[in-house]
């Protein structure tokens, strides 16, 4: 059995989609949802999905071994960042080398980095008059959105697309491809 821990800071739609995708898979299990936001809706999703969840604060994450210990206790094979907004500490990157991935709602290396998440990314893409956007799934390193890219999927931006329509298209790509990429990684 391969165990996934999902880190999320907000709504948790990708966390829910990933959990549902693997719900009937006897070999892959979402064992934990972890958040740095005690008010994140992902906690309600975790409860509804019967997935244990943990809230942690900045001190727990950066100054203690608490999260690392929890991940080890749960025999986590892969850490999946799904809308998680904090930089991963180097000690966690070293402990889970090559086993932390993130999804970004644009075609990296464009529109990545600190502060570039969610609607901020879509707004920047539209304001830059890009002809295409998409998703990037990448390994996590010590810098925001600079890890080696595992997978990208592009879509054309139509002349009538706005922030909301682009966000919807990107979410559809995320829901379709993120679980598949995770499955491929864990089956290799």
Catalytic residue at 104? yes
**Per-residue pLDDT reduced to its tens digit, 148-162:** 999 999 999 999 999
Mean pLDDT of the chain: 96
CATH code, domain with 123: 3.40.50.170
Specify the DSSP class assigned to residue 134. Answer: E
**Per-residue pLDDT reduced to its tens digit, 14-50:** 999 999 999 999 999 999 999 999 999 999 999 999 9
For residues 54, 59, 61 and 65, what is the CA-based torsion angle, rounded to 10 degrees?
-100
3-class DSSP state for residue 7? strand
3-class DSSP state for residue 69? helix
Q: Which of 77, 73, 104, 68 is nearest to 177 (CA)?
A: 104
- What are the DSSP E strand ranges found in 48-157? 53-55, 76-81, 100-104, 132-139, 149-156
For the chain, percent of residues with pLDDT exceeding 70 = 100
Please state the domain count of the chain. Answer: 1
Q: What are 12's strand-pairing partners?
A: none
The domain of 181 spans 2-187
């Amino acid at each position: 059995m391969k165990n996934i821990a999902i880190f999320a800071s907000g709504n948790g739609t990708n966390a829910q989609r990933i959990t549902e995708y693997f719900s009937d898979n006897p070999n892959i299990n979402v064992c934990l949802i972890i958040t740095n936001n005690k008010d994140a809706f992902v906690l309600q999703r975790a409860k509804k999905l019967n997935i244990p969840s943990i809230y942690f604060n900045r001190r727990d994450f950066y100054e203690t071994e608490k999260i690392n210990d929890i991940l080890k206790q749960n025999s986590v094979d892969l850490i999946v960042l799904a809308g998680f907004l904090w930089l991963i500490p180097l000690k966690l990157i070293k402990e889970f080398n090559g086993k932390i991935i993130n999804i970004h709602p644009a075609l990296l290396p464009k529109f990545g980095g600190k502060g570039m998440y969610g609607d901020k990314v879509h707004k920047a893409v539209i304001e830059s008059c890009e002809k295409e956007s998409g998703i990037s799934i990448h390994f996590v390193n010590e810098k925001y959105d600079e890890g080696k890219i595992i997978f990208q999927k592009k879509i054309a931006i139509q002349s009538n697309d706005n922030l909301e329509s682009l966000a919807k298209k990107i979410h559809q790509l995320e829901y379709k491809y993120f679980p598949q990429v995770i499955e491929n990684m864990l089956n290799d």
